[in-house]
Amino acid sequence: MATVKKTDPFRVAESTGATAADGNDLELSIGHQVRQFRQELRLTTAEVAKLADLSVGMVSKIENGATSPSLATLKGLARALNVPVTALFRKFDQHQDATHVKANQGLVIDRQGTRAGHQYQLLGHTVGKGVSVEPYLVTLTEKSEVFPMFQHGGQEFVYILTGKVRYRHGNRIYDLDAGDSLFFDANAPHGPEELIDLPIRLISVIVQQKSDG
């Protein structure tokens, strides 16, 4: 489940690059998705508000596209509706082909293996024609002796921005320095084997087919 720092001041419209002209379209799209998911679960507005730790009035405003919810608020709604945060943008994604994220404003995500000193920032989420693309900015600032391996469908591209890491893919290990990249089948176990030179910052792009086609 995605997590957002309490100090994050930005709004969804800013993180998606929405302008004043199309901001209302984004709000209406999010509201439509929230209402649709709520109705599919046969939940009342009050029940969703309680699960999301929000007021009934706030949930009603969001469903009617009358307010720009913060990412922290969307996180609560996504948790209450048992969907990923990105699912709330589904309708908007259908007619948007660009995502603009300002520096240091990527959505902080908890992934398997996330720990102190390891941060994953989702820089965008594009879904179309049955393909999901998720770019991450990964920052590693503290050493760890044991790393859980990642394993998922699709393919992944890793590009090292700073630092040096020993990276495992299947039964092979690659020494990756700044400027190096690795493109691989993500079905094989993969992930950092050893952090050599900190801090390490890398771009990870995951591409996979959607299970629902």
Q: Which CATH number fits domain 111-209: 2.120.10.30, 2.60.120.10, 3.30.565.10, 1.10.20.140?
A: 2.60.120.10
Token pair belonging to 76: 């609560």
Q: Tell me the two tokens of residue 3.
A: 């997590």
pLDDT tens readout for residues 138-178: 998 877 666 778 888 899 999 999 999 999 999 999 999 99
DSSP 8-state class, residue 163: E
Q: Would you tell me how many other CB atoms lie within 10 Å of the CB of residue 150?
A: 18
Domain formed by 12-93, architecture: Orthogonal Bundle (1.10)
* 71/77 Cα distance (integer angstroms): 10
- Beta-ladder partners of 155: 185, 207
pTM: 0.54
Name residues of the chain where pLDDT drops below 70.
Answer: 1-23, 92-97, 109-117, 126-129, 144-146, 211-213
Residue ranges per structural domain of the chain: 12-93, 111-209
Which residue, among 46, 41, 109, 54, has the nearest Cα to 81 in the 3D structure? 41
Ranges of H-type helices in 64-207: 71-81, 90-93
